[in-house]
Amino acid sequence: MAFDVIVAGVGGMGSAACWHLARRGLRVLGLERFDIPHAMGSSHGVTRIIRLPYYEAPAYVPLLRRAYALWRELEAASGERLLVITGSVDAGPEDGAIFNGALASARLHGLPHEALTGAEVNARWPGYRLPPAHRAVFQPEGGFVLSERAIVAHANAAMAAGADIRARERVLGWEARGGGEGVTVTTDKGRHEAGRLVLAAGAWMADLAPPLAGGLAVPERQVLAWLRPKEPGLFAPERFPVFNLKVGEGRYYGLPEWEVPGFKFGRYGHRGERGPAEAARREVDAEDERLLRAFAERYFPGGAGATMALRACLFTNTPDEHFVLDRHPGFPQVVLASPCSGHGYKFCPVVGETVADLATGDGATEHDIGFLRLGRFGRHGGQERASAAPQPL
């Protein structure tokens, strides 16, 4: 066969998978419908948060520790700074899931941390104006990853290790042979044969992976804002930890200024716009800006100056908001790597490493991904066959 593994989708997860597969000496073909990097999916917008005391589930913390080590490996391989440490603040009502979940994760895994009140956060980092009675977990190792640069770094490292990566080649469908070995991938430029296939298609996963159809991988439109701080010094990386914040208006996340001249933030769920990736609204309107600006003016007033940028992106949500990372239930030579429900980018290198495990040998991995397996949804599957003409990637 021409390739050992084909990776469909060369975004955050797919580019990392290409590197980890290629560095093991495998013949890898990475196929990306758009550019590398691009602004049509989930990984653009300059930066993405990384944080350790994971309120979503303590089981993520060992994966995060490995992700930090692998981000540093990629920095060494690329000669480029990709991970910036600012500290992280996870805050919300004292009886809420964010504060209590982050505190539980920090304690369970022995992470250095402080439990603060909103008033203490505001005094230490004056860019914040949290409700004084809110509670927060500060963890000094949080920060952000330079998301688009990291995709390029992963792709370059993969190609240096021998991978063949091609942009602007659209996957139209795939077929897998019985017996656990062999796939044929059809694109708008031809057909490719490989022993294994990795599907890392982000918001297009349900179109290419039948086990994820029917509500297990639902794209959602998000909007990011960058507002010029009225007090710029308060929103510099050394004075502004990244945050994950629950307030009455919803759950928000934010980062200091970096490259784009503005304080960056967004709202989980934004306006609740869900549907196929092809139908997602890419333009940003006045209501998007109004919703985000109202939040900044109330909780980060020093950062609520002129609008510098507004950009739409896509999350891809599972019903429980945990990832899907597993082999296809009908074809063990096909690996599913996504969706990540809006909090996956920080895990890219460890997902890439895990994908390489799943796609080689007997598929055993040292990483504990039991809680991310597809079987938790009761979809164990049979010998399903991919459509000859699914929605194209």
CA distance 122 to 137: 13
Q: Which amino acid is at 114?
A: E
What's this model's pTM, rounded to 2 decimal places?
A: 0.95
Give the pLDDT band of residue 82 (cuts 50, 70, 90).
very high
**Residue 284 in domain:** yes
In terms of domains, do 208 and 351 share one? Answer: yes
353 and 212 in a common domain? yes
Tell me, what's the pLDDT at 379? 56
User: Are 228 and 304 within one domain?
Assistant: yes
DSSP 255-287: E--BSBSSEEEEETTTT--BS-GGG---S--HH
Q: Are residues 97 and 246 in the same domain?
A: no
User: Is residue 229 a part of any domain in this protein?
Assistant: yes
What domain range includes position 173? 3-43+148-217+320-377
For residues 225 and 252, membership in a common domain is answered with yes
When divided into structural domains, the chain yields a total of 3
Boundary residue ending a domain (298, 317, 336): 317
Q: Is the pLDDT of residue 65 over 90?
A: yes
**115 inside domain:** yes
What beta strand segments (E) does 97-213 contain? 114-117, 135-139, 143-146, 164-166, 171-176, 183-187, 190-199
Is 325 found in the same domain as 302? no
pLDDT in tens, 316-372: 999 999 999 999 999 999 999 988 999 999 999 999 999 999 999 888 999 999 999
Dihedral, 18, 72, 76, 153 alpha carbons, nearest 10 = 40
Average pLDDT estimate for 111-136:
98
Q: What is the CATH number of the domain that holds 264?
A: 3.30.9.10
100 domain residue, yes or no: yes
Q: Are residues 313 and 228 in the same domain?
A: yes
For residue 180, the model assigns a pLDDT of 79
The length of the chain, given as a count of residues? 393
> Which candidate, 169, 173, 248, places its Cα nearest to that of 207?
173
Report helix angle 12-22 to 348-358, nearest 10: 50
Dig out the tokens for 2 from the structure.
Answer: 């021409």
Does 81 fall in a domain?
no
Q: Does residue 65 form part of some domain?
A: no
Contact between 353 and 366 under an 8 Å Cβ cutoff? The reply is: no
Q: Give yes or no: residues 297 and 236 share one domain.
A: yes
- Strand, coil or helix: what is 388? coil
Please provide the average confidence, as pLDDT, over all residues in the chain: 95
Is the domain of 154 the same as that of 297? no
SS percent in the chain: helix, strand, coil, step 5: 30, 25, 40
> Contact, 36 vs 151, CB < 8 A?
yes
